[in-house]
């Protein structure tokens, strides 16, 4: 099954210009409409202002697409039903002519095949609470173990077991490094109490990415905290997560529907505070991913 790369993205990849892949699940299942449209534009602008080309990934009319036109983005973000696609779902949704939004796992998979090495998201998927028994662990982790893509994010989503997610990434050989922070951020929160190695300069991040690739290692995770003016207090987030978890249990929500349900529940109960921090960090991560891609392209030329 072939992948449709937009002319702008294909030209940039061929020329060695900086490109950043962007996921679409966060837009279709993480942020309410019509705010998702504004966020999509904000994320793409964040990549562009850092000097890179944005390449949003989605499945449309049976084609796996890398780089969407404005009309395609509008169609995706207005559609009443969009399937959340992890890597395993890509062929099924594509072959059935469906419309799908890609998770971090599926986006990384597609990006690597299109020659893109950097992507941005809000928060990585990971080990769900109780995942040591349920085995509900996001495919994002295994995908990064086999796919050479560096993901810029604000840690793993607040609803997850962050400590076990970090352990799992270690087992899988996926490094997690903090850009100007020495703690794993907690997505909505700046802190989690979990240490990560700190990198201070973009140039050092570039060198790390190159050394990692030169050894034939695969995925890597770069984290930075959510912007300070929108970040939430840890106790507040813990309470919201607990309330949402109880609601999900009462409604027997499991599997792929769990993450979208939790995010929506917390958005309502926080009067939109979680949505504001989610948007702010997604744009900020797009900017850092763009800057990293631009710096890497510069390195390769010199």
Q: Which residues bind Mn ion (CB under 5 A)?
A: 136
Q: How many whole angstroms separate alpha carbon 2 and alpha carbon 171?
A: 32
Q: How many whole angstroms separate alpha carbon 52 and alpha carbon 65?
A: 18
Helices (H), the chain: 7-15, 25, 35-49, 70-78, 90-95, 104-113, 131-134, 139-146, 162-171, 202-214, 234-250, 258-269, 273-301
Place of tokens 């949003």: 56
Instruction: Find the shortest distance in angstroms from Cβ 201 to ligand PSU.
Output: 27
| By CB under 6 A, residue 185 contacts ligand PSU | no
Instruction: Find the shortest distance in angstroms from Cβ 7 to ligand PSU.
Output: 26
Place of tokens 């799992």: 168
What tokens were used for 150?
């560096």
Closest to 150 measured CA to CA, from 215, 104, 188, 84 = 104
Instruction: Find the shortest distance in angstroms from Cβ 300 to ligand PSU.
Output: 28
β-strand pairing of 118-120 with 19-22: parallel
| By CB under 6 A, residue 103 contacts ligand PSU | yes
Closest to 164 measured CA to CA, from 189, 191, 192, 190 = 192
Which letter does DSSP use for residue 16 in this model? T
Looking at the DSSP bridge assignments, the partners of residue 53 are 19
Instruction: Find the shortest distance in angstroms from Cβ 255 to Mn ion.
Output: 6
The binder of 287, among ligand PSU, Mn ion, none, by C-beta within 5 to 8 A per type, is none
278, 287, 296, 297: which one contacts ligand PSU (CB under 6 A)? 278
What tokens were used for 249?
């249990």
Per rule CB under 6 A, count of chain residues that contact ligand PSU:
21
Catalytic-residue membership of 268: no
The binder of 278, among Mn ion, ligand PSU, none, by C-beta within 5 to 8 A per type, is ligand PSU
23 or 136: CB nearest Mn ion: 136
Q: How many whole angstroms separate alpha carbon 279 and alpha carbon 209?
A: 26
Q: At a CB cut-off of 8 Å and minimum separation 6, what does 146 contact?
A: 218, 219
Only one of the segments 49-57, 120-128, 144-152, 285-293 lies at the binding site for ligand PSU (rule: CB under 6 A); that segment is: 120-128
User: Residue with CB nearest Mn ion?
Assistant: 136
Among 44, 84, 143, 157, the one annotated catalytic: 157
User: Residue with CB nearest ligand PSU?
Assistant: 122
Q: Which of residues 151-180 bind ligand PSU (CB under 6 A)?
A: 157
| By CB under 6 A, residue 259 contacts ligand PSU | yes
Among 23, 44, 143, 183, the one annotated catalytic: 23
Only one of the segments 119-127, 190-198, 246-254, 292-300 lies at the binding site for ligand PSU (rule: CB under 6 A); that segment is: 119-127
Catalytic-residue membership of 84: no
Q: Which of residues 41-80 bind ligand PSU (CB under 6 A)?
A: none
| By CB under 6 A, residue 225 contacts ligand PSU | no
Instruction: Find the shortest distance in angstroms from Cβ 272 to ligand PSU.
Output: 14
Closest to 111 measured CA to CA, from 52, 171, 197, 180 = 52
Interface positions with ligand PSU (CB under 6 A): 23, 25-26, 29-30, 86, 103-105, 121-123, 125, 138-140, 157, 256, 259, 263, 278
Residues annotated as part of the active site: 23, 157
């Amino acid at each position: 099954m072939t992948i449709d790369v937009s002319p702008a993205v294909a030209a940039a990849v061929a020329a060695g210009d900086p490109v950043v892949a962007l996921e679409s699940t966060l837009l279709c299942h993480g942020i309410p409409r019509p705010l998702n449209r504004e966020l999509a534009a904000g994320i793409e602008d964040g990549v562009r202002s850092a000097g890179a080309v944005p390449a949003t990934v989605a499945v449309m009319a049976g084609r796996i697409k890398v780089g969407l036109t404005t009309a395609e983005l509008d169609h995706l973000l207005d559609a009443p039903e969009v399937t959340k696609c992890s890597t395993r779902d890509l062929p099924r949704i594509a072959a059935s002519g469906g419309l799908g939004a890609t998770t971090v796992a599926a986006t990384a998979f597609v990006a690597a095949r299109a020659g893109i090495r950097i992507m941005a998201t809000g928060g990585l998927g990971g080990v769900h609470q109780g995942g040591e028994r349920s085995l509900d662990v996001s495919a994002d982790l295994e995908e990064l173990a086999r796919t050479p893509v560096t993901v810029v994010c604000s840690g793993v989503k607040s609803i997850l077991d962050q400590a076990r997610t970090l352990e799992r990434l270690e087992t899988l050989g996926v490094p997690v490094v903090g850009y100007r922070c020495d703690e794993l951020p907690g997505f909505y929160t700046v802190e989690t109490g979990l240490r990560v190695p700190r990198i201070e300069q973009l140039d050092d991040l570039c060198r790390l990415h190159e050394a990692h690739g030169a050894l034939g290692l695969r995925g890597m995770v770069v984290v930075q905290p959510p912007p300070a003016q929108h970040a939430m207090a840890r106790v507040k987030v813990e309470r919201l997560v607990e309330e949402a978890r109880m609601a999900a249990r009462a409604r027997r929500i499991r599997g792929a529907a769990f993450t979208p349900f939790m995010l929506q529940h917390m958005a309502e109960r926080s009067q939109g505070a979680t949505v504001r921090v989610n948007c702010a960090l997604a744009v900020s991560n797009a900017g850092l991913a763009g800057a990293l891609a631009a710096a890497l392209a510069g390195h390769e030329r010199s």
